Chain A
Amino acid sequence: MQSVTRQDLLDTALEKLADGTVSHVLGWSRGTFDYEATPTLFSDPDTLRTAFVWNDFCGANLSKYLIKHTRRLEGRLLVFLKPCDTYSFNQLLTEHRFERERVFVVGVPCNGMADPRKLKAQADGILSVTAEGDTLSVETLYDGTRTLAVADLLEERCLTCKSRRHAAYDLLLGEEGEVQDSARFDEVAAIEAMSPDERFAFWQKELSRCIRCNACRDVCPACTCEQCVFGNPSSGVENKAASNEFEEKLFHIIRALHVAGRCTDCGECSRVCPQGIPLHLLNRKFIKEINENYGVYQAGAEVGTRAPLVDFTLDDPEAETVVRRGDDA
């Protein structure tokens, strides 16, 4: 269960619309089923009242939409951001993707979001889902009404949440959380501990499932190039198909390199992948390397910081140290 209610968010949005602070509200509405939410832009209070949702399925990070909407619309936009989303927000500001004054950030505390995939693995033929405290009451076609604990359905990124403290907001609803002592690098360490052959086999198996739909890229708040190299037919690389096995891996490696130092580990890539590929592990590997070689750095923790990979300080390790450490791994 979330600690602030839909009504709390709704009241705030209606108030800010009414007093003219903002002209639009970026939030979520119910998707096709109760366990899904669609990012939605509201301007009409009545639509907001009927369609707005805030529940355990509002995983979608809204920050990237701010680029598009601030360009398209006049006025100021209210956006609801969960703690992890605020890191993306700051990173986008650092990269000058939109103007801070155009956005009114309402920070919402988050107790973790439920993963529809985990829900569907446990319940077949879901007709409705209703939140009841820390559990979900799930009406199914085959097993009657089931009661499932939200804690057992949390998204992977929520189980390894890095921070429940917002990195930015104009108005905070509810209680502020803390930066978490996250075990998010454990899985990366497990992959590092594999032999090179095992590691190759691991990624070979995962990445060979990729259908190159590009959802990971399109949802990624760090992927904001006006023209992605993989969407440019003249670039010589293919965006819609892997012409061979090598290119299949190349897409992911290039993308991971492009976002290295800028990826906030928001986890959207893994959330949207229709093939269930654990893409976040690639990006986390880079974060772990950066932390170990250049000191702990969290992209999006503040606005305007220079990421270690695009900065030079006298304390930087010598290139050969980095290379040697890489060899050892």
Chain B
Amino acid sequence: MRKCALSVMPDLLRAVAEATPLYLPVDTDKGDALFTRWFEGADWSGACNTARGPKDLFFPQTEDLVAFKTAGKTVEVLDIRREQEDFVVFGVRPCDVKAIEVLDRVFLSEPVDSFYAARRNHALIVTAACSRPTETCFCGTFGIDPTALCGDVTVWKTEDHVYWQAATEQGERFLAALDGFLEDADDTAVTAQRAQTAALLSRLPLHSLRADAFGGGKTEAFFDHPAWDTLSQSCLGCGTCTFVCPTCQCYDIKDFDTGHGVVRYRCWDSCMYSDFTKMAHGNPRLTQKERFRQRFMHKLVYYPENNDGLFSCVGCGRCLAKCPISMNIATVMNTLGGDAR
């Protein structure tokens, strides 16, 4: 394990950013934090987590795929892809690192999504272990230890130091390049912090929420559950929960008429919307209840069914914090969980 004084972090981050584009959580003037490209004076935010996950850096909300130029009766296909450069994402929380694993299974399995793959292959992820979880956090429900080593490198921030440990070879190389800033350290402080954080986690309001009742093969147990009616009753169908979720992965492909050609792009979609997966006959999910059910069944049943039991919720708590009606996956699990038929 290596360490540096907290006070050298600005210089260290500058050195990283000068070598490779660097993204890190920076406070906004709205009182939240967002992943932001490093700039001179950018401070590493102390927020429990960013308002949105690092998903945007791998799977942006909109992305141009290909363009077509028309001239008379000919259509020219233009390759508008750009070379992807290496980049570093610093300060990713462990839940969000798990969320990237959820996305990987979707975008990196055959047929591989080359846009996503390019970004993943060029990214180095530095995880920031948690020491100040908040009431919306429930990563433990999905087996995540937010104090443990993950990503390519993990940092533990204490009052006056930052401790570093590599988890991958790429991470080792990254730390080697920062050698001038780091010194050897034992893990006493980190071990103490981990124990302290574990005690805090056990006091969180959602600490006892369990996912055991869910998983692959549970479609019939939950699909026709009578509670969907009441759970979905006040859902606005807005899509906030899907757009702030670090694992929501659905997108739509659209053509934008530029006047002299077409740009084909994709943008995030939401199962909460009335035109989601709309086909010639309409949306197969006619009511908000069905759309609402889809979101939670996907996270808790369908995804694990196709991905070796991995849930596609990581307990980051963003949808809990942002839903206008305070309805969310934790309430859904609590309501359905003890009552699987």
A and B interact:
yes
Please, what's the 1-or-0 string for A220-240, where 1 marks a CB less than 8 Å from any CB in chain B?
000000000001110000111
A209 and B132 form a contact (CB under 8 A): no
A-B pair count, CB < 8 Å, reads 121
Contacts of A238 in B (CB 8 A): 254, 267
Other-chain residue from B238, B254, B320, B328 in contact with A219 (beta carbon distance below 8 A):
B238
Q: How many residues of A contact B (CB 8 A)?
A: 42
Most buried by A among B48, B239, B331: B239
A36 and B236 form a contact (CB under 8 A): no
A213-B243, A243-B62 known; A231-B325 Cβ under 8 A: no
Other-chain residue from A60, A124, A243, A274 in contact with B244 (beta carbon distance below 8 A):
A274
B273 and A240 form a contact (CB under 8 A): yes
Interface of B is mostly: loop
236-277 of chain B: CB within 8 A of chain A:
236-240, 242-244, 252, 254, 256, 265, 267-270, 273-275
B275 and A36 form a contact (CB under 8 A): no
Contacts of A37 in B (CB 8 A): 326
Taking the closest CB of chain A, its distance from the CB of B277, in whole angstroms, is 11
Taking the closest CB of chain A, its distance from the CB of B329, in whole angstroms, is 10
B30 and A141 form a contact (CB under 8 A): no
B61 and A41 form a contact (CB under 8 A): no
A233 and B270 form a contact (CB under 8 A): no
Task: Give complex CA distance A232, B183 in Å.
Answer: 58
Other-chain residue from A39, A125, A212 in contact with B325 (beta carbon distance below 8 A):
A39
Taking the closest CB of chain B, its distance from the CB of A269, in whole angstroms, is 10
B267 and A240 form a contact (CB under 8 A): yes
Contacts of B252 in A (CB 8 A): 240
Task: Give complex CA distance A44, B274 in Å.
Answer: 31
Contacts of A240 in B (CB 8 A): 239, 252, 267-270, 273
User: Which residue of chain B lies nearest to A124 when distances are taken between CB atoms in the complex?
Assistant: B134
At the interface, yes or no: A218 with Cβ under 8 Å from chain B? yes
Task: Give complex CA distance A190, B256 in Å.
Answer: 38
A141-B200, A239-B273 known; A215-B324 Cβ under 8 A: yes
User: Which residue of chain A lies nearest to B61 when distances are taken between CB atoms in the complex?
Assistant: A241
At the interface, yes or no: B37 with Cβ under 8 Å from chain A? no
Other-chain residue from A41, A127, A213, A233 in contact with B240 (beta carbon distance below 8 A):
A213
At the interface, yes or no: A32 with Cβ under 8 Å from chain B? yes
Query: Which residues of B line the A interface, CB within 8 A?
Result: 30-32, 48, 51-52, 61-62, 132-136, 200, 203-205, 233-234, 236-240, 242-244, 252, 254, 256, 265, 267-270, 273-275, 278, 320, 322, 324-328, 330-331
In the complex, 9 of the A-B residue pairs with CB atoms within 8 angstroms, ordered by the A residue number, are: A31-B327, A117-B31, A127-B135, A141-B200, A213-B243, A243-B256, A272-B236, A274-B240, A274-B244
